Chain A
Amino acid sequence: MAMLEIAGFEKRFTIHHLNKVMPAIKDIHFSLETGEFIGIVGKSGSGKSTILKSIYRTYLPDHGKMMYDSSAFGVVDLAHITERQMLHLRKYEIGYVSQFLNVMPRTTCRQLVTNALLEMGSTEAVAGGEAEKALAHFEIDPKLWDSYPNTFSGGEKLRLNIAMATVKQPRLLLLDEPTASLDQQSKMKVREIIEKLKLNGTTLVGIFHDIEFMEGLCDKVYDMQTRKLTVGEKVGVGAES
């Protein structure tokens, strides 16, 4: 059984003030084994984020199946589990990361990562230590640990988000355009961080508008234009950099 299998997935948006139903995506099929990294590529507006947000239930899925092999409930269809089950999975199994930070006001970087652990039931002492490790691991400057993230750069916000998500050791991590609007150097850092996550055995779904950058890193690539899944060596042949 694959860790995540998307079959015949479809999402439409009903816009009431226009009296319109906007089709977003349809006929999406792909699957992912434990420990793999799948990259979803396509132009902006092609529906990449819609897939990711639907997996995370930020969008309500319309049609199709999203079978996820959870450790809490066994194999479940993410499109149909209860809200409480989804909250449980979000808390313990599935992480979502973007460059946009949406956090409690006036909370320091260190406290945000600590809180993520406290919510899972860690003790204050353990959480504090783990938080520092995570912040160091994702190369957030220790000078920033006790500041509020309002003034962080895009790359720093992203790394803080990754630290908050991965400190919980999720089984499945969703990366929403982690490299968008970053410069070359910051992108390199993101790449290194994804390599670290892969080494830790995290299963990843990432969306990118330019896949060249992720060459050699993805095990599979799903192209939104062709609706095709490319597997293994065909992805960025010999581009290990």
Chain B
Amino acid sequence: MHEEPILKVRNLRKQFGPGCSHCANLDSDRLEKNYCTVCGTVYAVRDVSLDLYPGEILGIVGESGSGKSTLMQCLYFDTDVASGEAYIHTPALTGTNVFELSSQQKRSIRNHDYGMVYQNPVHGLKMNFSSVGNIAEKLIAAGNRNVGEMEATSKRLLENVHIPLHRMKEEPRNFSGGMQQRVQIAKALSNNPPILFLDEVTTGLDLSVQANVLDLIKKIQRELGISMIVVSHDLAVIRMLADRTIVMLNGEIIEQGLTDQVLEDPQHAYTQQLVYSLL
């Protein structure tokens, strides 16, 4: 079986701060966790490499501050990387390190190849635009110009995420957190992205809405074959969704494997602690 990953990330690094002679050689034992005590530089993501395969859900778990969200923001070009490479396997982009592209080309990737759902809907939605307007914005960015078509697509997507159509003209700021999250998912899916990033999407939702969102994500994977990276600190969510899981600690990948293997036969001391903490 030869499979080409749809997203290949190599040696990604991200730091906040200039670094100094004490920490510059990236010697991990000179750091306090991922923090240089001399110059205050935080090494948020340290030498992360991963592969995302077509149609799979890859889980990333780790405690807060482990670098999961920073990694996602790097991949989605929300923030620049210190160094590293990422390759997207589409006809137009094969062989190109997407971190080296111009900001215009990066925007085009965001518009055509990527979808992102943030933990906080404020980041993914324009709260003072109507819900349907939010989706249309993404569709226009992706090159759509036919108003009738866009409205039909928006309606279908909102229906899929169980937003009543009589409220589609409403601004998301009137919605509950769970509804906002579902509008955000509809928006992220509107350009049919082959790659979807989900950052703590169910965190802070009540159990009943969480079940809705989880079911929706699984359905998207089954029916559209979209590849997803799902970041969560909630092991139960990862267990339900992810085929394979990566465990991060202090900006590094410390363990990876099949999700049930990571949860039932964890190898690293930290993962063992994490799993023993599971209720």
Contact = CB atoms under 8 A, between A and B. Distances in A.
Interface of A: 13-17, 53, 57-60, 72-73, 83-88, 102, 104-107, 115, 118-119
A72 B1 CA distance: 8
B239 interface: yes
A119 B214 contact: no
Interface in B206-244: 207-208, 210-211, 214-215, 218, 222, 239-240, 243-244
B53 A84 contact: yes
A88 B243 CA distance: 11
Contact of B264 (A59, A84, A105): A59
Interface stretch (B101-109, B140-148, B184-192, B255-263): B255-263
B176 interface: no
Given A84-B3, A115-B222, 7 more contacts: A16-B268, A16-B273, A60-B265, A73-B1, A86-B258, A105-B207, A105-B240
A107 B208 CA distance: 12
A16 to B, nearest CB: 4
B277 to A, nearest CB: 12
Nearest to A19: B269
B94 interface: no
Nearest to A11: B265
Contacts of B53: 84
Interface of B: 1, 3, 53, 56, 207-208, 210-211, 214-215, 218, 222, 239-240, 243-244, 257-258, 260-261, 264-265, 267-269, 272-273, 276
A16 B274 CA distance: 12
A129 B244 CA distance: 30
Given A57-B258, A72-B1, A107-B215, A102 B239 contact: yes
Contact of A118 (B207, B214, B222, B244): B222
21 contacts: A15-B272, A16-B268, A17-B273, A17-B276, A53-B264, A57-B258, A57-B261, A58-B265, A59-B264, A60-B265, A83-B244, A84-B3, A84-B53, A84-B244, A85-B1, A88-B1, A104-B240, A105-B210, A107-B215, A115-B218, A118-B222
Given A14-B267, A16-B272, A17-B273, A104 B215 contact: yes
Contact of B258 (A15, A17, A87, A104): A87
Given A72-B1, A73-B1, A105-B214, A58 B261 contact: yes
A81 to B, nearest CB: 9
A104 B214 contact: yes
A84 B1 contact: yes
